[in-house]
Amino acid sequence: GESVGLHLPTLSVQEGDNSIINCAYSNSASDYFIWYKQESGKGPQFIIDIRSNMDKRQGQRVTVLLNKTVKHLSLQIAATQPGDSAVYFCAEIPLRSNDYKLSFGAGTTVTVRA
Amino acid sequence: DTAVSQTPKYLVTQMGNDKSIKCEQNLGHDTMYWYKQDSKKFLKIMFSYNNKELIINETVPNRFSPKSPDKAHLNLHINSLELGDSAVYFCASSQDLRAYEQYFGPGTRLTVT
């Protein structure tokens, strides 16, 4: 399953399939990006980050891809499991900024079908 | 042990009341934050403190007043509550100002009636 942009807020994916969650960011000065996962009733939890000097970074079952040319970020989840059902947020910041604020995207709700 | 804890988890109150939400972190972090999450799940930063010093103060009504008695605690006091204040409020902490891996608390769901 795949979501596009910040304005398609839901993604339904079959258990075992790969998920792709997309995020379009707006600040061309942003050079550090984070993905957070928020399960129902809980606070957001850090998943993975990437700096702008990389275009790909892998974690455990997750991969983040960064395309600076089109200001696009994606999170790929391999072999999606029921525990992956959550809201996923991308966040960005220009590391040289002095306002120390992460800007969060609108979030994509991922629902895993059994 | 919970890394970032908030109390209460739920808060239901009437318009015009004053309420406080407490936050504590046991991670030894220097920086703490308050975020507001609305009904559409949009997360917006309100305040941040670094070593008890106010760093970020977003455009938030002055009815909201944070207080950091020490670097492990950041409380949020809200005066004259309004219907629009209903939201989930999250406390978070990070190692320092430039460590953007933030650890969030479980949230406080505030309902103003």
Give residue-wise pLDDT tens across range B29-73. 999 999 999 998 999 999 999 998 998 888 889 999 999 999 999
Q: What is the pLDDT of residue B2?
A: 72
Residues in B closer than 8 angstroms to A49, CB to CB, are 100-101
Distance CA B76, CA B68 (A): 9
Q: Do A95 and B98 touch (CB under 8 A)?
A: yes
Distance CA A58, CA A25 (A): 20
Give residue-wise pLDDT tens across range A3-60. 434 456 899 999 999 999 999 988 888 889 999 999 999 999 999 999 999 999 999 9
Distance CA B76, CA B19 (A): 8
Residue B88 scores a pLDDT above 90: yes
Residues B91 and B105 sit within 8 Å (Cβ to Cβ): yes
DSSP A37: E
Residue of B nearest to A47 (CA): B101
State both tokens at A28.
């061309």
User: How many residue pairs bridge chain A and chain B with CB atoms within 8 Å of each other?
Assistant: 53
Using a CB–CB cutoff of 8 Å, tell me whether B22 touches chain A.
Answer: no
B90: Cβ contacts below 8 Å, ≥ 6 apart: A43, A44, B6, B34, B35, B36, B37, B43, B104, B105, B107, B108
Give residue-wise pLDDT tens across range B68-87. 999 999 999 999 999 999 99
State both tokens at A113.
């079908």
Highest mean pLDDT among A103-107, B47-51, B95-99: B47-51
Q: Label residue A1 by pLDDT band (50, 70, 90).
A: low
Distance CA B5, CA B23 (A): 6
Q: Do B56 and A43 touch (CB under 8 A)?
A: no
Compute the C-alpha angle B78/B80/B84, nearest 5°. 80
Residues B76 and B63 sit within 8 Å (Cβ to Cβ): no
Q: What is the pLDDT of residue B68?
A: 95
